[in-house]
Structure 1
Amino acid sequence: MVTEDIEILPALRLAMIERVGQDRFELWFGTNNTQLRLSEGCLLIESTSRMNLDFLRKNFHEAIRQALSDVQLPGHQVVYREGLAPATKTPAPSAPQAAKKTPPAASSLQPTRSSSNSSAIIQRRRFASLKDFVVSDCNAMAKTAATMVLQQPGQISPLYIHGPSGSGKTHLLEGIYGLAQQKKELGRVVYLSAEQFTTYFLEALQSSGVASFRRKYRDVGVLIIDDVHFFAGKRATKTELLHTLDAITRRGGQVVLAGNQRPTELSALGTELVARFSSGLICKVDPLDETCKTAMIHRLAEKRDVQLTEAIAHWLTRQLPGEGRLVSGAINRLWAYCAVEGNTLSIPVLENLLADLIPQRSSMMRLDDVEQAVCHVFGVDTKLLRSASKSRRASNPRMLAMWLARKHTGAALSDICLHFQRRSHSTVISAEKKVNKWLAEDSVVQIADRSLKAQEAIELTEAELRSRR
């Protein structure tokens, strides 16, 4: 209740001032003889004078009820009680203070076109660009919508983007912000998180700077807010956000929002905000698929000057989860390892180095898994591996599959022989010796349509195997 009081009481006092006027509020509620407190569904109005309480009940009760409704507390009872609680009363907002002190919201370090301080923040970390956004099936609709809303601002508002952490929501919002800044006809552009919006609003309430706060956030061409699920449980801030969205919509401005769930799943925000969030266009972004991860891995590796072989890149793509921040963290870790150790990266090194980033999978390995991995990596058919053909196109991938089966499955020679439809288990022994020779001589071998070193062929296939666990 203490946290709620800190947020709600200043908003309630402001609502009462709007109802009864600054002078009357200061006269009857701004003295040390009267306190307002919230307690278990009640608004307590406490005073040392019973006569004072009777006057407040007779002349201000209806205004107090309306003010409670304004801050979304219509169910609270108003209780008048003689005597004061020992807690220190929060000073009421006053007009002179507002004139003397600029609210934090008006001078906040947020990226807006009119703020001189914003450049310092932007220089610390360059905002992402829509040009660098990797488009795939997991995010194509959201990327298209991000471009469309700025071509026709206000026509599809709000644009609401939702998805799990690391799926690219913030990248899209930063890209929209950067593109909107280039379009002067859009007016002022503000981008901030829900936590920042809440903080600046509460600071404005405490410093009597609400009018300035509202000018800052309601008189914008484009308002972008990230992590809107943070607003859950913050009654006064939700009310302010609701009126802010309505004001921007009436003026034909554009609102862009992002959260971790679709609006209908954010019931804690209340039906009115959920309805506002759902009234425009809702786009989902899924976890990064292989196309996005591959592009991101190569881009980050190039930026960090980390040399990745095809086998390493393939392993990273298949092993790392579809969360952009984890992919970035993995590449940073490889960069640090190379800088310190100076060693060449290999699959065993990656397994040890990135163990905490890789989801745990079952360790079971079957002959079918090995066969399918070889076929997938080298583009051959399972029928070819099991055929009687002795051509290199059939025999080389078959020998590789038998070697991997011996290493990873623990299957008996007779089982491997039977699986690949060989006549004798000596064929498996011969295949194992042949692949060992390739490795010892660091040979370049022809496997299906590809020519590559034996070690690289094994690493590629093992990366595929691990992704199938």
Structure 2
Amino acid sequence: MRTGPSVQALADAVSSRVGAARFNLWFQGNATFVPLGGRIVVATRNQHMQEWLEHTFGTAVKAAVAEVYGADTTLRWAVDNLPLEETRSEENGARSEDKKSENRDRGAARSEDKKAADSASKSALRAPHPAIPQVDLFGDPVSQPKPKVKRPDPEAEALARPISSQRTGRRWKSLADFVSGPCNRVAHASALSVIEEPGQGANPLVVHGPVGTGKTHLLEGIYAGMKRQSDQRPCYVTAEEFTTRFVQASRLGKMSAFRRQFRECSTLLLDDLHFLATKKATQEEFLHTFDALVADGRQVVVTMDCHPRLADELMPELLDRLLGGAVWGLMPPDPETRLEILRKKSCGPGPMIPDAVLKALANTLRGNVRELEGAVNSVRHYAKVTGRPADMATAREALGDLLRHAVRVVTVADVDAAVCTTLRLAAGTLQSKARTWAVSHPRMIAIYLSRKHTAATYGEVSKHFGAKTHSTAVAAEKKVRAWLDKNASVAIGDREWSVKELVDRIERELQR
């Protein structure tokens, strides 16, 4: 009985030519040698692998086939796309009757050769990656429908990736670039303490304030500082992104992956928590995440646009957790801080702005940090394109509209409207003769704020609110000052208000 060379002999011959390491790397598990009569088929896992192997190792494989099976043996490359038994069946069905007669006449020797080839083919079929040539009897490609490939779900993949790995291209702000002043000094110091001793101080840390006062800068600075520590895995996320991921996880049934993303971090930094105000289900999920992190001694830092007590739509349980930590406010920058911000923003390449111009802008512009940064950029760009020095004349031309609208005069009527808007009172309520607490308490607070934020005299304030003499305004201002000193609460309608928090909310309304 005569048997043909084994597939292993061919594999050894190829390995000796390309090297054992390269053979194990590129052929093992990616391609299979299949002897089919007078032809050797190299079946690969996909089209890309076939092209790579044929281009890189085609000469070596051809030489190995000639050595093991003879120079007249044909070498074919194919993609593993059809079951081998089907291919052999098609070949047998395509043979002509003359060929069948010739095979029968050649006797037992030919039969034994065929059995050996079948045996080798079946051995290849049992290999870890079975050979599936994509050729017919004559070596022509066989057209077959492409198998359906399950496409990956990008949303599911995003939920499986850590939050930190998805923000590699972002440029994080540093606390070293944060300009500290009376309006933000305590919040800045608290952010530094979080980096130095996360989870050891007040937990959570809540930073609140109007837009453009540096809340996100502090949060990014904490993240950047903790990323430099090898033992820390901070997680920075906006409340909007947290909500989006929560909705996706709920829809895809991936809640375990969602929770794992946020509960395995060392510090959770959530920006704009007030975004969750009307989203009860998301608030509940954040509450559970919050409890899990704090119970494990890990730090939580959140930012809001107002004091937590002034966020009406927050769950009482979540509000209670926030008030259990440190709550620090950021105010719009004072003149000294505005000047330092302008100086810091004016450093760098480009026309230099004289300090006298910066001082004038600091005294004129009363907006937030973004407005100050925009003013510096406008002056420097205008000076560059016009070829003029960045002096005061250039600044006036560049910031004409901004300077005209910078000084906003607050009137007693503005204070009246802000109080009514905050407490949801009808317009004109504070000017009525009503003496109930629901009207008199808001009226006294409006009188106090009118004296604080306007240049109106006691007589003018009293006249606006319907009092007969200025002594009414004097008494009201004194009363509210006493409330603030004692941190007292007052009943307005069916709700008990902290006077300090109420004044803060009305002042925020005035700034809009």
Provide TM-score, normalisation by structure 2: 0.47
- CA 1:100/1:291 → structure 2, altered by over 3 Å: closer, same or farther? closer
Task: Name the residue aligned to 2:230.
Answer: 184
Counterparts of 1:362 and 1:203 in 2: how far apart (Å)?
A: 45
1:222-241 correspondence runs (5 A):
222-241=267-286
Q: Find out whether 1:166 has 2:215 as its counterpart.
A: no
| Matched letter for residue 185 of structure 1 | D
Q: SS where residue 338 of structure 1 aligns?
A: helix
1:304 positional shift: 4.1
Q: SS where residue 180 of structure 2 aligns?
A: coil
| Contact kept? 1:263, 1:278, Cα under 8 Å | yes
Q: SS where residue 144 of structure 1 aligns?
A: helix
1:411-450 correspondence runs (5 A):
none
Task: Name the residue aligned to 1:265.
Answer: 310
1:147-296 correspondence runs (5 A):
147-155=192-200, 156-186=202-232, 188-296=233-341
Counterparts of 2:395 and 2:389 in 1: how far apart (Å)?
A: 11
Residue by residue over 1:88-128, the C-alpha shift from the partner in whole angstroms, topping out at 9 and shown as x without a partner, is xxxxxxxxx999983533337x4x2xx2x4212x2xxx211
Residue by residue over 1:435-456, the C-alpha shift from the partner in whole angstroms, topping out at 9 and shown as x without a partner, is xxxxxxxxxxxxxxxxxxxxxx
1:217 positional shift: 0.5
Q: Find out whether 1:318 has 2:363 as its counterpart.
A: yes
Task: Name the residue aligned to 1:119.
Answer: 168
| Contact kept? 1:168, 1:285, Cα under 8 Å | yes
Q: SS where residue 168 of structure 2 aligns?
A: helix
1:299-318 correspondence runs (5 A):
299-318=344-363
Counterparts of 1:352 and 1:100 in 2: how far apart (Å)?
A: 50
Q: Find out whether 1:339 has 2:384 as its counterpart.
A: yes
| Contact kept? 1:304, 1:335, Cα under 8 Å | no
1:330 to 366, 369, 375: 375
| Contact kept? 1:103, 1:207, Cα under 8 Å | no
Unpaired stretches in structure 1, ≥5 consecutive residues: 1-96, 364-469
- CA 1:220/1:348 → structure 2, altered by over 3 Å: closer, same or farther? same
- CA 1:100/1:260 → structure 2, altered by over 3 Å: closer, same or farther? closer
Q: SS where residue 313 of structure 2 aligns?
A: helix
| 189-198 vs 296-305, which moves further | 296-305
Task: Give the greater-gyration-radius structure (CA).
Answer: 2
Counterparts of 2:408 and 2:335 in 1: how far apart (Å)?
A: 21
- CA 1:241/1:275 → structure 2, altered by over 3 Å: closer, same or farther? same
| 347-356 vs 305-314, which moves further | 347-356
Q: SS where residue 255 of structure 1 aligns?
A: strand
Counterparts of 1:294 and 1:237 in 2: how far apart (Å)?
A: 41
1:131 to 159, 176, 195: 176
Q: SS where residue 119 of structure 1 aligns?
A: coil
Counterparts of 1:201 and 1:182 in 2: how far apart (Å)?
A: 29
| Matched letter for residue 263 of structure 2 | R
| Contact kept? 1:293, 1:322, Cα under 8 Å | no
Counterparts of 2:332 and 2:292 in 1: how far apart (Å)?
A: 34
- CA 1:351/1:239 → structure 2, altered by over 3 Å: closer, same or farther? same
- CA 1:100/1:357 → structure 2, altered by over 3 Å: closer, same or farther? closer
1:345 positional shift: 3.1
Counterparts of 1:185 and 1:340 in 2: how far apart (Å)?
A: 48
| Matched letter for residue 174 of structure 1 | E
1:57-96 correspondence runs (5 A):
none
| Matched letter for residue 229 of structure 1 | H
Over the matched positions of the two proteins, sequence identity in percent amounts to 33
- CA 1:336/1:217 → structure 2, altered by over 3 Å: closer, same or farther? same
Counterparts of 1:312 and 1:150 in 2: how far apart (Å)?
A: 36
Counterparts of 1:98 and 1:238 in 2: how far apart (Å)?
A: 30
Provide TM-score, normalisation by structure 1: 0.52
Q: Find out whether 1:145 has 2:169 as its counterpart.
A: no
Q: SS where residue 333 of structure 2 aligns?
A: coil
| Contact kept? 2:388, 2:394, Cα under 8 Å | no
- CA 1:179/1:337 → structure 2, altered by over 3 Å: closer, same or farther? same
| Contact kept? 2:180, 2:337, Cα under 8 Å | yes
Counterparts of 1:353 and 1:337 in 2: how far apart (Å)?
A: 6
| Contact kept? 1:103, 1:204, Cα under 8 Å | no
Q: SS where residue 374 of structure 2 aligns?
A: helix
- CA 1:202/1:103 → structure 2, altered by over 3 Å: closer, same or farther? farther
- CA 1:355/1:219 → structure 2, altered by over 3 Å: closer, same or farther? same
Task: Name the residue aligned to 2:452.
Answer: none
Counterparts of 1:298 and 1:249 in 2: how far apart (Å)?
A: 40
- CA 1:351/1:185 → structure 2, altered by over 3 Å: closer, same or farther? same
- CA 1:129/1:272 → structure 2, altered by over 3 Å: closer, same or farther? same
| 312-321 vs 224-233, which moves further | 312-321
| Matched letter for residue 378 of structure 2 | R
Q: CA RMSD in A?
A: 2.5
Counterparts of 2:295 and 2:355 in 1: how far apart (Å)?
A: 54
Counterparts of 1:362 and 1:241 in 2: how far apart (Å)?
A: 40
Counterparts of 1:362 and 1:276 in 2: how far apart (Å)?
A: 38
Query: What is the number of equivalent residue pairs in this alignment?
Result: 258
1:160 positional shift: 0.3
| Contact kept? 1:105, 1:201, Cα under 8 Å | no
- CA 1:249/1:362 → structure 2, altered by over 3 Å: closer, same or farther? closer
Task: Name the residue aligned to 2:161.
Answer: 107
- CA 1:304/1:319 → structure 2, altered by over 3 Å: closer, same or farther? farther
